[in-house]
A and B are shown apart, each in its own frame.
Chain A
Amino acid sequence: MTVESLYPRLEPLLAQVQKPIQYVGGELNAQLTDWDDAEVHWALMYPDAYEVGLPNQGLMILYEVLNERPDALAERTYAVWPDLAALMREAGVGQFTVDGHRPVRAFDVLGISFATELGYTNMLEALDLAGIPLHAVDRDETHPVVVAGGHAAFNPEPIADFVDCAVLGDGEQVVGDITDVVAAWKRQGRPGGRVELLARLARVEGVYVPRFYAVAYAEDGTIASVTPSGDAPATVAKRTVMDLDEWPYPKQPLVPLAESVHERMSVEIFRGCTRGCRFCQAGMITRPVRERTITGIGSMVDAGLKATGYEEVGLLSLSSADHSEIGQLATELADRYEGTNTGLSLPSTRVDAFNVTLANEFSRNGRRSGLTFAPEGGSERIRRVINKTVSKEDLVRTVTTAYANGWRQVKLYFMCGLPTETDEDVLEIAELAVEVIRAGREASGTKDVRCTVSIGGFVPKPHTPFQWASQASAETIDHRLRLLRAAINADRRIGRSIGLRYHDGKPGMIEGLLSRGDRRVGRVIERVWREGGRFDGWSEHFSYERWTAAAAEELRPFGLDLDWYTTRERGQHEVLPWDHLESGLDKEWLWDDWQEALSEEEVADCRWTPCYDCGVCPTMGTEIQIGPTGRSLIPLTPVRS
């Protein structure tokens, strides 16, 4: 069966929409395989706009890994903006891939990567545009298997009705296992139909098939039990890729014609983080730390720059300055690209891992952009609660050093609404910023220094010590942000050098509902989508009123409401919706860490101190993989201008 391209029918519509380039594909390094040359066809979706989705590393990695298989083909699809969606419905053109413009409905698997829960309505929109029934139970064997992945898949319960499977953990290997299962089932003539296929997928390590788990609720609204049926495992454990050097993806990063949110090439220098920041879901669910070696990174940078022509390389990870070879790496990369206007960048730097030499090496050949630090908490007390300890003196000293060495712009990231937080904790952010500017002006000898304070509301996440915490209400967040703004503006002579960027507390409440929600929340998501909810990560599209009204209506029959899911503190023995999904973290350890947070006790990083039994390595059969390797980058001779 060959599948026709929708492009001829799509093209006339593109002349009528904003930024049509995002729908045409044809990116550098895009791949297109003949439909009939593949047994298993994957549509990979990032459920947000193209400009956000295209640079996503996860999707790029899986795209290459799958396309390298002789029996598989992978194409990409992104959320379609409402202007085109309306024209597509009118013209009867379904959700399409940007590579071959093939209908998503024709693929065997639709894999959706959720970096955030705010993409859920976009998933429903894509399913509907594709002509795929919204509810998994209404699909037959001609429909794609809808698979959710990404960090949000660690609690897929709110979308359990809409997805066929969720994949936990690293995707590189599990997509191959899924391909094997689907290929075998198709080759055998699809025995047992869709249910048999899902039953086989449920036996793949890391694959969770919600329909095989029955959830029962207690009278107080909490979960009484989650019961697997058939031979579905009682718990589903995440996948972990060991030895990152064996997975040097993306090898050929996609370079879009359209402007995207990251105009640079990225190399993931390690995966996982054991710093133990208690708010950080990413750090908790991606353990242990697995470093790529300096030579592995060096060859990926070289290959990637040749393949893309980017002039900046981002060295990605959850805390890049912690790489055991970061200093040597920065120097040797700067040597290699001397005179080529190739810049290096880190996403953000821990205050305690920053040094000027490192920062100088990063900007030696490229543009000197601003520096970004993420203290996260305003006071030393709250930083102990979240286990991101750094003293105020160290913070001011570090930032001042940066100003003294020629940086003029420093960005500081904070959160508001952290457990145990008071108004005073947040007001200390203002004191800190004022001090940073004062000291910075003195150290640099100029008034031309700026500090941007960026602050957002904290949302407690599953699989973290804060999973039991009460989320601060939107009113609390907004109140504290108002106080902070007034405090920063109190002295205009200093305040004018401080920028404040913040998000109001409302979207965080919805993110909170979706993050720690259970299957009953699915009705809220569906209702919001039916009432026009799309692109919830975009303030111009997000409607808090639509969400709160839908939540009130849909949760009332259960005797629940938005607050029950967000501001309610959970008890130690409550069955959490994601308890049967294994990140490897021992629930008792998480609880102890939560209690230690409340008593402001810190925990060290297990890379440099003895194991404190979080549970991940023994449960998952994994281990910390760090250097230094003692190796050096081989010299290369890139073109010089």
Chain B
Amino acid sequence: MARQPEGPPPPPTVQKLRIRYAKRGRLRFASHRDLARALERALRRAQVPMAFSAGFSPHPKISYIGAAPTGTASEAEYLEIGVSRRCDPDAVRVALDESLPPGIDVLDCVEAQAGTGSLAERIDSSRWRVELVDTPVDDVRAAVEAFLAADAVMVTKRTKDGTRDVDARAAVVSAEVAGGAGCAILQLVVRQLTPTVRPDDVLAALAAVADLHPPLPPRAVREAQGRLDGSGNVADPLDPDREVRAHCQGERTPA
């Protein structure tokens, strides 16, 4: 028989909280593992009453949804935590934000509402903003036009099992180019397929179709994640929880 730790099992999850956070500035170089460690420690520092898994190595109940690649910034990273005592989501947001190093910033925290489905189901696309420093806007625009006109643009990705060819074009829903201060700005809406197509894959595709080579590594920021709606926009994945909550409160306290 498998050995069990002595003592009572850990207290159950009584509430789930869904959290949106940003990684900004220098901390864009943090990997997903780095962020996970920082978040776990911050939850302890913030004294959030985490629920734990059972067993000899109890782990706090945290699920991470997606993760922006190392080197890219994000305004829209998501995670879900289970707590063993009911908490005010706003208080958790403030306490957790204060406990994280500057550059990892908690933007939103809502209570997961029953019957709204999982957070992961509400995310299938990302909106990216990519800054190409010292790169002429017209060059980028021409490259993007060539890219969008192609049926498929294969790029080679490095994966942990070697390399893999992936069609970058298939994942891109839209790509727009604008001029910024000393740089070109590329706005992308990208479907989250497997394997994932990331901004650097799109850049590799632009190099392949139009020989576009920015002089410096581009800076990418994930601006939003969520479900793609009919008009090509990315919906806020926390909205369903907010809507249910507003509805319930509306019933309880009629205006």
Contacts and interface: CB of A to CB of B under 8 A. Distances in A.
Contact of B29 (A24, A28, A259, A367): A24
Interface residues of B, number: 39
B66 interface: no
Given A20-B29, A26-B103, A310 B34 contact: no
A259 B216 contact: no
Nearest to B102: A26
Contacts of B160: none
A28 B97 CA distance: 12
A639 B57 contact: no
A257 B101 contact: yes
A568 interface: no
B34 A309 contact: no
B34 A21 contact: yes
Contacts of B30: 21, 257-258
Given A21-B30, A21-B34, A341-B52, A641 B84 contact: yes
Contacts of B27: 21, 24, 26, 257
B76 interface: no
A26 B26 contact: yes
Contact of B42 (A7, A306, A309): A309
Contact of A341 (B25, B35, B58, B216): B58
Q: Is the interface of A mostly helix, strand, loop or mixed?
A: loop
Contacts of B51: 641
A360 B38 CA distance: 29
Interface stretch (A9-17, A524-532, A549-557): A9-17
B49 A641 contact: yes
Interface string A1-39: 000000100001011100111011111100000000000
Nearest to B57: A367
B31 interface: yes
B247 interface: no
Nearest to B216: A12
Contacts of A259: 33-34, 37
Interface centre among B11, B41, B84 (most CB of A within 10 A): B41
Given A24-B27, A310-B41, A16 B58 contact: no
A548 interface: no
B116 interface: no
A640 interface: yes
Contact of A308 (B41, B57, B60, B70): B41
Nearest to A306: B45
A498 to B, nearest CB: 22
Contacts of B37: 257, 259, 263
Contacts of A310: 41, 44
Interface of B: 3, 10-11, 25-27, 29-31, 33-35, 37-38, 40-45, 47, 49-52, 56-58, 60, 70-71, 84, 99-103, 216-217
11 contacts: A20-B71, A24-B29, A25-B26, A26-B25, A255-B41, A257-B27, A257-B37, A258-B30, A341-B60, A367-B57, A641-B10
Give 5 closest A-B pairs by Cβ, nearest first: A309-B41, A15-B217, A309-B45, A20-B29, A24-B26
Given A20-B71, A24-B29, 8 more contacts: A23-B29, A24-B26, A257-B30, A257-B101, A310-B44, A639-B47, A640-B49, A641-B51
Interface of A: 7, 12, 14-16, 19-21, 23-28, 255, 257-259, 263, 305-311, 341, 367-368, 406, 638-641
